[in-house]
Amino acid sequence: MDFVSGNLKRIYVNFLLASFGSTLISMIYGIVDMAMVGWYEGPDATAALACFSPVWNVVYAIGLLTGIGGAVLFSNALGKDERENANGFFTLALMLTAVIIGAFWLVMIFFDAPILRLFGADDNLLPYARKYLLPLKFCLPVFTFNNLLACFIRNDGRPRLATAAVLAGGVFNVFGDWFFVFALNKGVMGAGIATGGGAFITLFVLLSHFFSKKNTLRLNKRFSFAKDSLRILSTGFSSFFIDIGMGIFTVLANNQIMKYLGTPELSIYAVIIQLFTFVQCCAYSVGQAAQPIMSVNFGAGRGDRVKRCLKYGFISALLFGVFWTALSLGIPTAFVRIFMQPTDEIIAKAPFAIRIYATSFILLSLNVASTYYFQSVLKRLDSFVVSILRGILVNGVLIFALPALFGGTAIWFVMPLTELLTFAYVLARIACAAQPAHRPAIF
């Protein structure tokens, strides 16, 4: 696939369809897990999965840290026709991933209860969260390596294989959830078993790339461990912090909701987390479709093609954001009914919370897409600032300030204000980048 001189729109659309396919299946994962558990166990189990969601944020974020960081540098090297250096980044990314996820894996194996309490689980919710985690303790690193490999395989010109891998795992997860949760009466633990099994299937499909004639990924020693590790981690940090920041914020929100509101509102927030994740995953699909194209063209000095690809990406992100916002405003209670058998109290409170929170979705899509652009053209500081602003700085302040000043329901306004303030920074950086500079014009 010729990123530098091929039909840019066709390449982007092909990558977007493949990336969105992966995203769609990932969304189905989340829907099925929470819906099956909510219908089998009730709203408390749904709330427990909200307490578990920061674990997923960390697991996936590590894969993005080394996967996106390494893949951007891999593609930039390809744009400069430096194949050996490109594969050096692939090799080093694998090594870094093994070290980082290995450390987190040990923490979750031996300290699961205090970690889950930190994430918001009380005495009532903790048993559900631990049952879900139990089968996943055996395979948490698999999820991280799936993220890493998908990033490099897309950059190696095979986005459809990455989609097929997620599809295969997703199909197993959907039927496995029904089989283990209901047919075998395993409840929330059954959902964990199905999710873990799906992850292994995804891994096996991804590994098939290395037996293909189209594979150009190789292990080598063409890297400087200290210098190139820093480059990978600094380049991938923004993608990492998008997920890790969401995990940190979820912990803060879980605790604030329990302090100012209660378990019914936490169950509603569990639904909102799913919606928020769906929108963020759609934005990921835009960024992951555009990133290989922008990275290679930036390395090749084709700023005109980077600019066009960015335009396609922002239009796609805007359409996704408008779609999810309209859907959330129009049928908020329908989402609640998907994930649980709601009480009358939950049905009464959910529409206000979901509608307010959903106003953040349009700008969320644009903000996430912008981080992939900044990464692709090695504007690490701008990417870092965007991820920090929306990941922990602005929302971290507001999650404490708004309920203290205006009451518990003000919690639902935190993310709309956060995305608005972050987008103001993105626009400011676009305006600055539009000025003449020594680098090729990007905007």
Tokens of 169: 């795992």
Residue 87 pLDDT > 90:
yes
Q: Which of 258-262, 273-277, 409-413 has the lowest mean pLDDT?
A: 273-277
User: What distance in Å separates the CA atoms of residue 312 and residue 32, rounded to the nearest whole number?
Assistant: 31
Which residue, chain included where needed, has tokens 């999710």? 195
User: What distance in Å separates the CA atoms of residue 314 and residue 308, rounded to the nearest whole number?
Assistant: 10
Measured in degrees and rounded to the nearest 5, phi and psi for residue 284 equal -60, -45
User: What distance in Å separates the CA atoms of residue 356 and residue 226, rounded to the nearest whole number?
Assistant: 45
Average pLDDT over the chain, rounded to whole? 88
Question: Across the chain, how many H-helices and E-strands are there?
Answer: 17, 0
Residue 277 pLDDT > 90:
no
> Would you place residue 235 in the very low, low, confident or very high pLDDT band (cuts 50, 70, 90)?
confident
- Say which residues have a Cβ less than 8 Å from residue 170's Cβ, sequence separation at least 6: 25, 26, 28, 29, 198
Residue 415 pLDDT > 70:
yes
Burial of 197 (0-12, 13-18, 19+ CB in 10 A): middle
> Would you place residue 442 in the very low, low, confident or very high pLDDT band (cuts 50, 70, 90)?
very low
pTM: 0.76
pLDDT in tens, 278-300: 888 888 889 888 988 998 888 88
pLDDT of residue 229: 94
At 299, the amino acid letter reads: G
pLDDT of residue 40: 86
Radius of gyration for the chain, computed over Cα atoms and rounded to the nearest angstrom: 21
> Would you place residue 29 in the very low, low, confident or very high pLDDT band (cuts 50, 70, 90)?
low
Nearest Cα neighbor of 104 from 258, 4, 240 is 240
Give me the percent of the chain exceeding a pLDDT of 90: 46
pLDDT of residue 397: 95
Stated length of the chain: 443
User: What distance in Å separates the CA atoms of residue 163 and residue 413, rounded to the nearest whole number?
Assistant: 35
CB atoms < 10 A from the CB of 306, how many?
26
User: What distance in Å separates the CA atoms of residue 316 and residue 283, rounded to the nearest whole number?
Assistant: 8
Using the CB atoms, write b or e for 42-58: b if 16+ within 10 Å.
Answer: ebbbbbbbbbbbbbbbb
Residue 435 pLDDT > 70:
no
SS3 content of the chain, % helix, strand, coil (to 5): 85, 0, 15
pLDDT in tens, 91-140: 999 999 999 999 999 999 999 999 999 888 888 889 999 999 999 999 99
Name the DSSP letter for residue 180: I
> Would you place residue 271 in the very low, low, confident or very high pLDDT band (cuts 50, 70, 90)?
confident
Over residues 392-420, the mean pLDDT reads 94
Sign, CA dihedral 13-318-388-310, equals: positive
Q: In this structure, are residues 245 and 390 in contact, taking their beta carbons and an 8 Å threshold?
A: yes
Residue 440 pLDDT > 60:
no
pLDDT of residue 216: 92
Which residue, chain included where needed, has tokens 């194949």? 83
Residue 261 pLDDT > 90:
yes
pLDDT of residue 288: 84
> Would you place residue 26 in the very low, low, confident or very high pLDDT band (cuts 50, 70, 90)?
low
At 408, the amino acid letter reads: G
User: What distance in Å separates the CA atoms of residue 294 and residue 195, rounded to the nearest whole number?
Assistant: 33
- Say which residues have a Cβ less than 8 Å from residue 404's Cβ, sequence separation at least 6: none
> Would you place residue 17 in the very low, low, confident or very high pLDDT band (cuts 50, 70, 90)?
confident
User: What distance in Å separates the CA atoms of residue 41 and residue 45, rounded to the nearest whole number?
Assistant: 6
pLDDT of residue 1: 63
pLDDT of residue 357: 94
pLDDT in tens, 134-180: 999 999 999 999 989 988 998 888 888 988 998 899 889 889 999 99
- Say which residues have a Cβ less than 8 Å from residue 251's Cβ, sequence separation at least 6: 54, 118, 119, 120
Residue 390 pLDDT > 80:
yes
User: What distance in Å separates the CA atoms of residue 224 and residue 230, rounded to the nearest whole number?
Assistant: 10
User: What distance in Å separates the CA atoms of residue 348 and residue 174, rounded to the nearest whole number?
Assistant: 30
> Would you place residue 312 in the very low, low, confident or very high pLDDT band (cuts 50, 70, 90)?
very high
pLDDT of residue 441: 42
> Would you place residue 439 in the very low, low, confident or very high pLDDT band (cuts 50, 70, 90)?
very low
- Say which residues have a Cβ less than 8 Å from residue 214's Cβ, sequence separation at least 6: 156, 157, 158
212: left (phi over 0), alpha (psi -120 to 50) or beta: beta
pLDDT in tens, 343-383: 889 999 999 999 999 999 989 999 998 988 888 888 888 98
Over residues 73-85, the mean pLDDT reads 89
Over residues 326-347, the mean pLDDT reads 88
